[in-house]
Structure 1
């Protein structure tokens, strides 16, 4: 019975290095291709910009008033009757920091 040829450790290590590098390259390529598209810039209506600026002013005023207090709740209520423009998304993006 013929003896099988023995492969050296260096050959095995080199094969594993090549396979790992190929796997990392394939993973990086897939991650780049699956990255979400950047959000397009949306135009904010003048009414929404005014509304967001008003909220910012109220927040700054409340923060200045609560410097010494421990707890507090700040609430906003503004009823917009008859407007088609909903500023909820713009306000949410602004407050999250997606400015």
Structure 2
């Protein structure tokens, strides 16, 4: 039975370094190739645009009144029975502000 090839610690470290670098490069390549394409902007209806403008005005007023306190600005939503409650438009518009 043949004797196994003996490797020094430096050789093992070099092999593991090369394998780790190859794995990181492959992972980075896969992540870059599977990035989702940006979605085209959806047109916002006039009712939703009015709601967004109203909320931004309320935020601007709250920012002016803020005097260093730990206040919380809340919004309540009342269902008016409309088909489009602008949930997606509001989410899309204010998601960029985070």
TM-score bracket, normalised by the shorter chain, equals 0.5 to 0.7
Which residue does the alignment assign to 1:97?
A: 96
Map 1:1-99 onto structure 2 (within 5 A): 5-67=5-67, 71=71, 74-77=74-77, 79-81=79-81, 83-97=82-96
TM-score by length of 1: 0.63
Report the count of equivalent residues: 98
Deviation sequence 1:14-41 (CA, Å, 0-9, x none): 3222211211122222322443343332
Cα distance, 1:53 vs structure 2: 0.2
Task: Name structure 2 gaps, 5 residues minimum.
Answer: none
SS at match of 1:25: helix
Task: Name structure 1 gaps, 5 residues minimum.
Answer: none
* Cα distance change of structure 1 residues 4 and 47 upon mapping to structure 2, 3 Å threshold: closer
Q: CA RMSD in A?
A: 3.3
Is the 1:48–1:90 contact (alpha carbons within 8 Å) kept by the matching residues of 2? yes
